[in-house]
């Protein structure tokens, strides 16, 4: 632990936990950060990964650029306002700034790339250095605003962004990420952000429904791929996993679902479970910008069975015919 990280313990409003030791395990710091919202833990982990906070911030910017978030305003690894860190209310004021969309994209990648994060963020309480700490997410089990299915993610307050909350939940078979920024809290109501989040979740549940398009191991319609030199000219394409889509309830629009092969044809032998392409869903009822990063739902389609190579004379004849058609 650097002196810079430990110094945050003495700053009022830094959202820190009592951390006096010079060394903690990564597991302990993750618990302090993801359960206890510790700024000290955030900075300690950033310095470990990046070598310095400045280098880590540059890594943050590079990663966000890869996700299509251009020119994010990031100044530190903790999200703290510069006046809070300096302790000078008259000093220069600046802080990290991201849009609700940006935060949703970050949350999506966090959950996809590191699903184990919810092992921490779903805990209402945890033990840190022999001290029980509480999660500020009051929508977790046993909390005042408990809502079944909520498993994270991040509660925050900032001078410019106000009262914020990025949540993760599964409701009626729909996994959703919600983000609320600048929530108005009358008389400092500590529950305002959670009430707003719950209202947003209610809207999603009322408005949308999850439907299965194709089950694992099943084809969609006549989804096939062409096979060259095989005992069969085609191979059935089946879903590698269950494929669900989210639709507006009561929508009369016809969804467009199409199988797109990876290539024009596959040369035998084609082994069972070989990747053949993807099944694409085009949403006819997009709202606003539609899907995060414009990534509409897809599922991998694979060979439903093995197609063996045909008799060698047939293969030779096919090669001859193709040569004639292409060259003459």
The alpha-helical segments, DSSP class H, found in the chain are 3-7, 26-34, 39-50, 53-66, 82-86, 100-113, 118-121, 192-207, 312-327
Please say if the pLDDT value at position 15 is more than 80.
no
Does residue 87 surpass a pLDDT of 90?
no
Question: 1-97 with 215-313: one CATH topology?
Answer: no
Higher per-residue confidence, 167 vs 8? 167
Q: Tell me how far apart the alpha carbons of residues 124 and 278 are, in angstroms, rounded to a whole number.
A: 40
pLDDT in tens, 231-270: 999 999 999 999 999 999 998 888 899 999 999 999 989 9
From the options 3.40.50.150, 2.60.410.10, 3.30.420.40, 3.40.50.460, give the CATH code of 215-313: 2.60.410.10
In this predicted model, what pLDDT tens digit does every residue of 273-301 receive, in sequence order? Answer: 999 999 999 999 988 888 999 999 999 99
Ordered by start, the domain boundaries in the chain are 1-97, 215-313
Angle at 64 between CA 137 and CA 24, to 5 degrees: 55
Give the residues across from 212 on adjacent strands: 244
Nearest to 163 by CA among 139, 182, 146, 188: 182
Per-residue model confidence (pLDDT) at position 129: 86
**Exposure b/e, 122-138, CB count within 10 A at least 16 = b:** bbeebebeeeebebbbb
- C-alpha separations of 254 from 38, 49, 211, 288 in Å: 48, 48, 14, 19
Locus of tokens 């945890």: 126
pLDDT of residue 113: 97
Distance, CA of 199 to CA of 213 (rounded, Å): 28
Q: Which CATH class is domain 1-97?
A: alpha beta
According to the model, what pLDDT value does residue 318 have?
67
Q: What pTM did the predictor assign?
A: 0.89
């Amino acid at each position: 632990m650097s002196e810079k990280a430990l110094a945050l313990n003495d700053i009022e409003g830094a959202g820190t936990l009592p951390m006096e030791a010079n060394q903690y395990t990564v597991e302990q710091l993750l618990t302090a950060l993801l359960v206890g919202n510790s700024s000290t833990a955030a900075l300690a982990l950033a310095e470990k990964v990046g070598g310095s906070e400045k280098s880590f911030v540059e890594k943050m910017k590079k990663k966000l650029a890869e996700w299509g978030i251009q020119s994010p305003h990031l100044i530190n690894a903790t999200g703290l306002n510069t006046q809070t860190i300096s302790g000078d209310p008259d000093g220069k004021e600046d802080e990290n700034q991201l849009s609700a969309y940006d935060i949703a994209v970050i949350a999506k990648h966090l959950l996809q790339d590191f699903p184990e994060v919810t092992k921490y963020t779903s805990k209402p309480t945890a033990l840190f250095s022999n001290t029980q700490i509480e999660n500020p997410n009051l929508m977790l089990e046993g909390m005042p605003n408990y809502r079944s299915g909520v498993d994270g993610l991040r509660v925050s307050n900032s001078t410019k962004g106000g009262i914020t909350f990025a949540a993760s939940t599964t409701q009626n078979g729909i996994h959703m990420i919600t983000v609320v920024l600048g929530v108005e809290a009358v008389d400092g109501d500590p529950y305002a952000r959670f009430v707003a989040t719950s209202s947003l979740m209610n809207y999603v549940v009322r408005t949308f429904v999850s439907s299965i398009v194709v089950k694992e191991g099943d084809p969609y319609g006549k989804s096939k791929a062409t096979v060259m030199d095989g005992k069969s000219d085609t191979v059935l394409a089946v879903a590698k996993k269950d494929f669900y889509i989210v639709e507006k309830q009561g929508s009369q629009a016809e969804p467009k679902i199409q199988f797109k092969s990876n290539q024009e044809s596959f040369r035998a032998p084609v082994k069972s479970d070989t990747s053949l392409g993807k099944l694409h869903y085009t949403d006819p009822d997009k709202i606003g910008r539609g899907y995060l990063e414009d990534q509409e739902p897809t599922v991998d389609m694979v060979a439903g069975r093995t197609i063996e190579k045909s008799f060698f004379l047939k293969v030779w004849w096919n090669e001859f015919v193709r040569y004639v058609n292409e060259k003459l």
